Amino acid sequence: MTTPVELSRPLTFRERHESKIRQWRLYAHMFGKSFSSMLGLGLVVIFLLLAAFGPWLAPYPEDTVGAFNMANKLMGPSAAHWFGTDEMGSDILSRVIIGARTSLWIGLIITGVGAIIGVPLGIIAGYRGGWVRAVIMRITELFLAVPGLALALAIVAALGPGITNCVLALSLVWWPGYVRLVEAKTLSVKEELFVESARSIGAKTPWILWHHILPNCMSPIIVKMSMDMGMAILSAASLGFIGLGAQPPAPEWGAMISVARTYMPDWWWYSLFPGAAIFLTVLGFNLLGDGLRDILDPRSRDR
Amino acid sequence: MLAFAFRKVLTLVGTMIGIAALTFVITNVAPGDPARLVAGPNATEDMVTTIRTEYGLDKSLPEQFVVYMSDLVTGDLGQSIVTTRPVLEEVLRYAPATLELVFVAMALGIIVGVPMGMLSAVYKDGPIDHATRIFSISGVALPAFWFGIILQLTFAVDLGWLPVSGRLPLVTRPPETVTGLLLVDSLLAGRLDTFWTSLRHIILPAIVLSFPCLASILRVNRAEMIEVLQSDYIVAARAHGIASFRIVAIYALKNALLPTLAMIGLRFGWMLGSTVLVETVFDWPGIGLYAVSSALSSDFKPVIGVTLVIGFFFIVANTLVDLAYAWIDPRLRSA
Amino acid sequence: MTGPLLDIQNYRLDIGTFDGPVHVLKDINLTVNRGDTLGIVGESGSGKTVLVRSVLGIGPKASKVVEGTIAFDGQDITALPEKDWTKIRGIRISMIFQDPMTYLNPLFTVGQQISDVIAAHEKASGYGVSLKVTRRARTEELLDQVGLPNPAMLFDQYPHQLSGGMRQRVLIAMALSGKPDLLIADEPTTALDVTVQAQVLDLINSLVEKLNLTVIMISHDIGAIATIAKRCAVMYKGEIVEQGLTADILSAPKHEYTRRLLAAVPDIDTAAAKVAAEPAVGASPKPGVLLEAIGLRKVYRSQSGTEVTAVDSINLSVATGEIFGVVGESGSGKSTLARMLLRLIEPTSGDIIFDGKNISGLTGEPLRLMRRHMQFVFQNPHSALNGRHTIGDAIGEPLRIQTNMSRRDIEARVEALLDIVQLPKMFKYRYPHELSGGQKQRICIARAIALNPHLLILDEPTSALDISVQAQVLDFLQELRAELDLTYVFISHNLAVIRQICDRTIVMKRGVIVEQGETERLFLSPQHEYTKALIESGRKTSRAANLSASAGPQ
What does the pLDDT read at residue A8?
60
Residue of chain A nearest C366, judged by CA positions: A202
Chain B residues with CB under 8 Å of A244 CB are 295-296
Looking at residue C324, the DSSP 8-state letter turns out to be E
Report the pLDDT averaged over residues C159-182: 86
Q: Which of A91-95, A140-144, C31-35, C421-425 has the lowest mean pLDDT?
A: A91-95
- Count of other CB atoms within 10 angstroms of residue A164: 12
What does the alpha-carbon distance between residue B178 and residue A256 come to, in Å, rounded to a whole number? 41
Chain B closest-CA separation from residue C86 CA (Å): 5
Residue of chain A nearest C391, judged by CA positions: A19
Report the pLDDT averaged over residues C517-522: 87
What does the pLDDT read at residue A114?
92
Report the pLDDT averaged over residues C355-368: 84
Chain B residues with CB under 8 Å of A36 CB are 133-134, 137
What does the alpha-carbon distance between residue B286 and residue B100 come to, in Å, rounded to a whole number? 9
Q: What is the 3-state secondary structure (H, E, C) of B244-271?
A: HHHHHHHHHHHHHHHHHHHHHHHHHHHH
Q: How many CB pairs under 8 A join A and C?
A: 82
Q: Listing from the earlier edge strand, what are the strands of the sheet with C349-354?
A: C307-319, C289-301, C349-354, C357-358
CA nearest neighbour of C204 among C184, C179, C221: C184
What does the pLDDT read at residue C279?
45
What does the alpha-carbon distance between residue B62 and residue B67 come to, in Å, rounded to a whole number? 9
What does the alpha-carbon distance between residue C289 and residue C358 come to, in Å, rounded to a whole number? 13
pLDDT in tens, C206-262: 888 888 889 999 888 888 888 888 899 999 888 888 888 888 888 888 888 888 888
What dihedral angle (degrees, nearest 10) is formed by the CA atoms of C381, C386, C387, C392?
-90
Chain A closest-CA separation from residue C371 CA (Å): 6
Please name the residues in contact with B331: beta carbons below 8 A apart, sequence gap of 6 or more. Answer: C106, C158, C160
Chain C residues with CB under 8 Å of B246 CB are 116, 120
Which run of H or E residues covers position C217?
Answer: strand C214-219
Better pLDDT: C44 or A45 = A45
Q: Is B24 on the interface with A (CB under 8 A)?
A: no
The beta-carbon neighbor of B233 closest among C85, C103, C303 is C103
Chain B residues with CB under 8 Å of A278 CB are 143, 146
What does the pLDDT read at residue B36?
65
CA nearest neighbour of C333 among C319, C347, C317: C347
Q: Do A145 and B18 touch (CB under 8 A)?
A: yes
B192 half-sphere exposure, CB direction, 13 A CA radius: 0
Residue of chain A nearest B260, judged by CA positions: A303
Q: Is the ipTM of this structure higher than 0.85?
A: no
The beta-carbon neighbor of B236 closest among C82, C103, C161 is C103
- Count of other CB atoms within 10 angstroms of residue C107: 19
User: Residue C410: what residue type?
Assistant: I
pLDDT in tens, A190-245: 888 889 888 888 888 899 999 999 988 888 898 889 888 989 999 988 888 888 88
CA distances A155 to A149, A228, B15, B271, C30, Å, are: 10, 20, 19, 19, 74
What does the alpha-carbon distance between residue B240 and residue C58 come to, in Å, rounded to a whole number? 11
Per-residue buried b or exposed e for C328-341, using 16+ beta carbons within 10 Å of the residue's own CB:
bbeebbbbbbbbbb
Looking at residue C491, the DSSP 8-state letter turns out to be E
Q: Do C117 and B240 touch (CB under 8 A)?
A: yes
What does the pLDDT read at residue C457?
92
Q: Which of B104-118, C267-281, C364-378 has the lowest mean pLDDT?
A: C267-281
CA nearest neighbour of C97 among B236, B52, B142, A36: B236
Q: Do B146 and A279 touch (CB under 8 A)?
A: yes
What does the pLDDT read at residue A68?
67
Per-residue buried b or exposed e for B39-78, using 16+ beta carbons within 10 Å of the residue's own CB:
beeebeeeebeebbeebebeeeeeebbeebeeebeeeebb
Chain B residues with CB under 8 Å of A165 CB are none
Chain C residues with CB under 8 Å of B4 CB are none
Asked if the model's pLDDT at residue A18 lies above 90, the reply is no
Q: Do A194 and C386 touch (CB under 8 A)?
A: yes
Residues 53 through 92 of chain C touching chain B, CB cutoff 8 Å: 56, 58, 82, 85-86, 88-91
Highest-pLDDT range among A115-119, C77-81, C286-290:
A115-119
Q: Do B330 and C106 touch (CB under 8 A)?
A: yes
- By DSSP bridging, strand C63-72 and strand C75-76 are antiparallel
What does the pLDDT read at residue A297?
66
Chain B residues with CB under 8 Å of A282 CB are 140-143
Q: Do B314 and A286 touch (CB under 8 A)?
A: no
Chain A residues with CB under 8 Å of C303 CB are none
Q: Is C433 on the interface with A (CB under 8 A)?
A: no
Chain A closest-CA separation from residue C385 CA (Å): 5
Q: Do A216 and C387 touch (CB under 8 A)?
A: yes
Please name the residues in contact with B182: beta carbons below 8 A apart, sequence gap of 6 or more. Answer: B97, B100, B167, B168, B174, B175, B194, B195, B198
What does the pLDDT read at residue B38?
65
Q: Which of A288-302, C330-344, C406-420 has the lowest mean pLDDT?
A: A288-302
Q: What percent of chain A has pLDDT over 90?
A: 15
* Residues found in chain A: 303
Chain B residues with CB under 8 Å of A146 CB are 19, 22, 269, 307, 310-311, 314
Burial class from Cβ neighbours inside 10 Å (0-12, 13-18, 19+) for residue C548 reads exposed
The beta-carbon neighbor of A203 closest among C379, C401, C424 is C401
What does the pLDDT read at residue C277?
42
Looking at residue A209, the DSSP 8-state letter turns out to be I
Neighbouring subunits of B (3+ Cβ pairs under 8 A): A, C
What does the alpha-carbon distance between residue B181 and residue B188 come to, in Å, rounded to a whole number? 11
Which run of H or E residues covers position C444?
Answer: helix C437-449
What does the pLDDT read at residue C551?
40
Q: Is C171 on the interface with B (CB under 8 A)?
A: yes
CA distances B188 to B107, B170, B181, B191, B193, Å, are: 20, 21, 11, 8, 12
What does the pLDDT read at residue C273?
57
Please name the residues in contact with B106: beta carbons below 8 A apart, sequence gap of 6 or more. Answer: B210, B213, B264, B267, B268, B271
User: Residue C299: what residue type?
Assistant: V
What does the pLDDT read at residue A300?
45
CA nearest neighbour of B296 among C275, A161, C282, C470: A161
Coil/strand/helix, residue A41 = helix
Asked if the model's pLDDT at residue A82 lies above 80, the reply is no
Chain B closest-CA separation from residue A3 CA (Å): 35
Residue of chain A nearest C400, judged by CA positions: A203
Asked if the model's pLDDT at residue C549 lies above 70, the reply is no
What does the pLDDT read at residue A1?
41
Report the pLDDT averaged over residues C107-113: 89
User: Residue C21: what residue type?
Assistant: P
Confidence of residue A302 (pLDDT cuts 50, 70, 90): very low
Asked if the model's pLDDT at residue C98 lies above 70, the reply is yes
What does the alpha-carbon distance between residue B251 and residue B236 come to, in Å, rounded to a whole number? 11
Chain B residues with CB under 8 Å of C90 CB are 239-242
Better pLDDT: B283 or A12 = B283
What does the alpha-carbon distance between residue C514 and residue C310 come to, in Å, rounded to a whole number? 14
Looking at residue C107, the DSSP 8-state letter turns out to be T
CA nearest neighbour of B282 among B231, B176, B206: B206
What does the pLDDT read at residue A178?
92
Residues C143/C154, Cβ–Cβ less than 8 Å: yes
Residue of chain A nearest B298, judged by CA positions: A157
pLDDT in tens, C398-424: 999 888 888 899 999 999 999 888 888
Q: Do A146 and B152 touch (CB under 8 A)?
A: no
Chain C closest-CA separation from residue B124 CA (Å): 12
User: Residue C164: what residue type?
Assistant: G
Kindly report the CA angle at C286 between C280 and C287, in degrees rounded to 5?
60
Q: Do B240 and C175 touch (CB under 8 A)?
A: yes
What does the alpha-carbon distance between residue C52 and residue C182 come to, in Å, rounded to a whole number? 11
Kindly report the CA angle at C249 between C248 and C255, in degrees rounded to 5?
135
Neighbouring subunits of A (3+ Cβ pairs under 8 A): B, C
Q: Do C102 and B254 touch (CB under 8 A)?
A: no
What does the alpha-carbon distance between residue C527 and residue C522 come to, in Å, rounded to a whole number? 8
What does the pLDDT read at residue C541?
64
Residues A126/A183, Cβ–Cβ less than 8 Å: yes
CA nearest neighbour of C370 among A192, B3, A201, B244: A201
Residue of chain B nearest C178, judged by CA positions: B240
Report the pLDDT averaged over residues C288-296: 86
Chain B closest-CA separation from residue A229 CA (Å): 11
Coil/strand/helix, residue B148 = helix
What does the alpha-carbon distance between residue B141 and residue A286 come to, in Å, rounded to a whole number? 7
Report residues of chain B scoring pLDDT below 50.
335
Q: Do C426 and A201 touch (CB under 8 A)?
A: no
What does the pLDDT read at residue C395?
92
CA distances B330 to B1, B221, C157, Å, are: 10, 20, 9
State the distance between the two ends of chain B, measured CA to CA, in whole angstroms. Answer: 10
Burial class from Cβ neighbours inside 10 Å (0-12, 13-18, 19+) for residue A147 reads buried
Q: Is B173 on the interface with C (CB under 8 A)?
A: no
